[in-house]
Chain A
Amino acid sequence: MPGTLTLDSVSVLLVWTAIAIYALAFIAYAVDLSRRGARAADAQDAVTRERELVSVGAAEATAEATGSTAAGRDATSRLRAQEREAEAAFQAPPSERPRLIWARIGTSLTVLGFLFHLGGDITRGIAAGRVPWSNMYEFALTGTLLIVAVYLASLLRYDLRFLGSFITGLVVLLLGGAALAFYVEISPLMDPLKSVWLVIHVFVASLATAIFALAFGLSVLQLMQARREQKTAALADASSATIAAAKTGPRFLRTLPGSDALESIAYRFAIIGFIFWTFTLIAGSIWANDAWGRYWGFDTKEVWTFVIWVLYAGYIHARATRGWRGSRSAWLSIIGFTAVMFNFTIVNMFFKGLHAYSGLS
């Protein structure tokens, strides 16, 4: 039925293909994480076995007396060494990164998925004859595209592939959900949307969301990593056998930078996102002033944009407040992104307000 194949249905086809490829990328990245875990465990086993051999040969009395603290010190120094190594790898330029075959497959698939996704987005835009971010379905289409774009662009600078499964998973969920639940046929724009500010405001908001998504993923990892570090530290005066057996959280964490480093990079993403969000807020006000005759009116969407802005301002403050740095501030970044997602989904669909542009009825 090529006769009836409209540009929009081509777009839908491309989008579904992209979703399928992202799903595969998600699997590849997940395999990568578990392989990292296994590798880290192997390395540790090797060390432990070696040490056991040594201590068997050593005088038993001294081993008994000093073994535990020595093992503890060992554990800590091993943690430090791991951290240093992970951080170096994290900062390394793409060509010098560890050759993680599954992560590579994941990234290649993500790039491929991105190309289909981009194709789907552009064809939708051409079919509609305007920017493809004018209703819920299109926000989701472009927003997720930007998430992937920001992720791939960040890869050039940092080895963030450990976030790959989070990013691709998130995109599969959002994009798949949008394609299923939010899809609407192309219809002409409502008058209030005919504005350059649609192009600017919504795009920048999506971009900020994409950046916040990365910050969110990093903050989650930061919390997991901090827990592991705490547990490892608590083991500092346990014996080597306990250490080997102890569970300190998912094993792939051992190949990741330390919680400090994760926090620092999460913060960097968050402040860039915050700048864009600030801009979103201002651009939205200018638009509201043109469209509705007031720049601010505490409309539901305005409220949530403001709430999110304040939450991230809180996060930035928390990072500078004694006693709040570290895990507490990470929670704020997580809450901030939860609010972003809430704003995009629940607020758009169920809250009443002037921003009735979801295109859903």
Chain B
Amino acid sequence: MSRSRSETPGAPEPTEGTLRPADHADSTTDAGAGEITQPALGLVGWLRWGWRQLTSMRTALVLLLLLAIAAVPGSIVPQRSADPNGVTQYYVDNPDLAPVLDGLQLFDVYTSIWFSAIYILLFISLIGCVIPRTRHHWKALRARPPRTPARLERLADFRSSIIELPAGAAPDTAAATAIEVAADQLKRGGYRVERYDSRGTLSVSAERGYVRETGNLVFHTALIGVLVAVGVGGGFTYTGQGVIIEGGTFVNTLLDYTSFNPGRFVDEETLTPYSLTLDDFSVTYQPSGTQGAGQAGDFVAHLTTQIAGESAQQGEVRVNHPLDMAGDRIYLMGNGYAPTITIRNSDGIVVFSESVPFLAQDTNMTSLGVIKVPDGMPEQLGLVGFFYPTQAPLTTGAFASAYPSLVNPVITLDVYEGDLGIDDGTPRSVYALDTTDMTQLTGRKIDVDSIELAPGETADLPAGLGTITFENESPAGAEGYDESVKRFVSLSIHRDAAATWVLLFAVLAVLGLLAALFIPRRRLWVKATPDGRTVRLEYAGLARGEDPAIAAALDQFVERHGDAVAPLLRETLTTPGPPTAPDRDDVDGSEPGRADPRPVD
């Protein structure tokens, strides 16, 4: 059933076929021919031999399998690219093993030397494979279908029949008619046809399915396209993160990004000038008492967007629905609460007044935040603490948030005094407080009550330093705490120059693949040999590559051809000549004029 094997003895292998690597299963080169050529040929010979090896099917296969194997460790060991915290944790958990793995580049598998080596070799092999095949296919596309083999009966798929001609018919004409009909039918069936007539035998040679090879080449070339697009496009790609608090505005300059990763060719000075203002962030929580209570969903950041020099527009960013902005795409990455805190010194002067983003630590939005007051106090002041949208005591006496929305919002803070460590220019995370050079003024550790505030409340700072207020941001007249604390969103802004190209090549690859796998490439031959008062018709098919349906296709063609030829022979051969069929109703009822395709076994 596996028709593609052309190991059929004597199967003709005309040269204008498909060029494939020498060790392709369908290749005609003698098995092992590639290996026999031992290069005693000097450098050029060695190079040629190496190239042959690299572009062979076996090498491609081995490289593919290696690629599959090499990709696996990256799913077991945390990767710096996808999970940097995982890598840090891994170092903590396996202090001995981690450096070894790092030495083997196992935390950067996909950019490692060995992984790159495999795919680069694979793609060199691929290019070395595709180029000669393309050249060859280009020629094949314009070549004539191959000469009809002398002995069709030696092909695996072979049928024949004998047509008995009515008396007086000219067998040569009949044969010619049969072949013309066949050529015509084949042409209409999408075959490219060529007549090959020789003494005593007329034949048509037909081939179809060139698209199969075209598809194969398109597929493999498109893979190269994907790789190139990823590689080159990556240079023009940037990603950056920004935080916007409700009411606040983000301007697309390097200044406003909390982090920014540009590709090699990105000019950071020429980012499209636009601004984003967070008007409102909305989210819904699964009500308590239902399955999945507290689960957050339907996050929407409502933005006012403005490109410099144009009018402002409304836009929204949702999960799965980034906002397109002047060629950038803006994604919603995170959200949280940003309590507004005002701190006054002992003279009643405001030394700090900001909404401070607190980072959520759990699904109920227990959030951790840091406040830094560098100026206006006797010493620098640092506060670190938690915000609980719905405060509830744990059995340990500590607090946690019991629900993610603002039901019973409380902030608790501990105060540190000393050196914040920000004056010498060392970059510090705004979300962390380095207390090495600071003295703790409140907290369990020193048995002084932490500051605890609900929105709208004010408390004294320890040691008479002043006061701290947790501002209630609710609009005038609002009831409850629903809008008492502002929210913030963290946005990720991307420009991906490659994505469109990658997609384009991927789609091309799929189309090529469909053609390469499902369009059969096959040859058919029809041969007519006049012999006395009969014409012998022979049909043969040869699959070029996987073609499970060739037998059926040949049968179908034989039938259709027979059906078309039979009446034709009767008409054309009986009408023009003298009326040679006087006694219509003779022997055993068979019509004398009927050209009877009779199968021969």
Residues of A whose CB lies within 8 Å of any CB of B are 87, 185-192, 194-195, 197, 257, 260-261, 263-265, 267-268, 271, 274-275, 278-279, 282, 285-287, 289-300, 303-304, 306-307, 310-311, 313-314, 317-325, 332, 347, 351-354
Contacts of A332 in B (CB 8 A): 65
**In the complex, which range does the number of interface residues on chain B fall in?**
35 or more
Cα-based distance from A264 to B1 in the complex (angstroms) = 7
15 additional A-B pairs beyond A194-B297, A319-B25, beta carbons within 8 Å, are A191-B297, A191-B298, A192-B319, A194-B319, A195-B320, A260-B1, A263-B2, A290-B320, A293-B331, A300-B75, A310-B71, A313-B64, A321-B25, A322-B27, A352-B78
Contacts of B496 in A (CB 8 A): 289, 294-295
Cα-based distance from A176 to B68 in the complex (angstroms) = 31
Cα-based distance from A285 to B26 in the complex (angstroms) = 35
B475 CB–A CB distance under 8 Å: no
Q: In the complex, what's the smallest C-beta–C-beta distance from B46 to chain A, in angstroms?
A: 23
Known: A291-B319, A321-B24. A188 touches B510 (CB 8 A): no
Cα-based distance from A329 to B13 in the complex (angstroms) = 25
Cα-based distance from A208 to B329 in the complex (angstroms) = 32
Can you list 13 pairs linking A and B with CB atoms under 8 Å apart?
A87-B1, A197-B320, A275-B514, A278-B510, A282-B503, A282-B507, A291-B320, A293-B494, A295-B499, A303-B72, A310-B65, A314-B65, A319-B546
Q: Is the CB of B57 within 8 A of A275?
A: no
Residues of B whose CB lies within 8 Å of any CB of A are 1-2, 20, 23-27, 31, 57-58, 60-61, 64-65, 67-68, 71-72, 74-76, 78-79, 81-83, 86, 109-110, 230, 239, 286, 291-292, 295-299, 318-322, 329, 331, 333, 492, 494, 496, 499, 502-503, 506-507, 509-510, 513-514, 517-518, 546, 548
Contacts of B58 in A (CB 8 A): 321-324
Q: Is the CB of A307 within 8 A of B24?
A: no
Q: Is the CB of B75 within 8 A of A279?
A: no
Contact among B239, B503, B509 with A286 in the assembled complex (CB-CB below 8 Å):
B503
Contacts of B109 in A (CB 8 A): 298
Q: Is the CB of B548 within 8 A of A268?
A: yes
Contacts of A293 in B (CB 8 A): 239, 322, 329, 331, 333, 492, 494
Q: Please, which residue of chain A has its CB at the minimum distance from the CB of B297?
A: A191
Contacts of B27 in A (CB 8 A): 322
Contacts of A285 in B (CB 8 A): 502-503, 506
Contacts of A352 in B (CB 8 A): 78, 83, 86
Known: A187-B291, A294-B494. A317 touches B57 (CB 8 A): yes
Contacts of B57 in A (CB 8 A): 317, 320-322
Contact among A257, A322, A323, A351 with B75 in the assembled complex (CB-CB below 8 Å):
A351
Q: Is the CB of A282 within 8 A of B322?
A: no
Known: A290-B321, A290-B322, A317-B60. A306 touches B71 (CB 8 A): yes
Contacts of B79 in A (CB 8 A): 298
> Which residue, A191, A295, A332, has most C-beta atoms of chain B within 10 A?
A191
Q: Please, which residue of chain A has its CB at the minimum distance from the CB of B283?
A: A191
Contact among B2, B507, B517 with A271 in the assembled complex (CB-CB below 8 Å):
B517
Contact among B1, B68, B83, B297 with A188 in the assembled complex (CB-CB below 8 Å):
B297
Cα-based distance from A293 to B328 in the complex (angstroms) = 11
Cα-based distance from A189 to B71 in the complex (angstroms) = 31
Q: Is the CB of A278 within 8 A of B509?
A: yes
Q: In the complex, what's the smallest C-beta–C-beta distance from B141 to chain A, in angstroms?
A: 21
Q: Please, which residue of chain A has its CB at the minimum distance from the CB of B122?
A: A310
Q: Is the CB of B61 within 8 A of A314?
A: yes
Contact among B1, B24, B298, B299 with A261 in the assembled complex (CB-CB below 8 Å):
B1
Q: Is the CB of A318 within 8 A of B61?
A: yes
Q: Is the CB of A298 within 8 A of B64?
A: no
Cα-based distance from A188 to B298 in the complex (angstroms) = 11
Contacts of B321 in A (CB 8 A): 290
Top 10 A-B residue pairs of the complex, sorted by shortest distance between their CB atoms: A187-B292, A191-B319, A321-B57, A303-B75, A293-B331, A310-B68, A300-B75, A314-B64, A261-B1, A264-B2
Q: In the complex, what's the smallest C-beta–C-beta distance from A321 to chain B, in angstroms?
A: 4
Q: Is the CB of B548 within 8 A of A264?
A: yes
Cα-based distance from A353 to B296 in the complex (angstroms) = 20
Q: Please, which residue of chain B has its CB at the minimum distance from the CB of A347?
A: B75
Contact among A257, A275, A303, A325 with B25 in the assembled complex (CB-CB below 8 Å):
A325
Q: In the complex, what's the smallest C-beta–C-beta distance from B111 to chain A, in angstroms?
A: 10
Q: Please, which residue of chain A has its CB at the minimum distance from the CB of B58?
A: A321
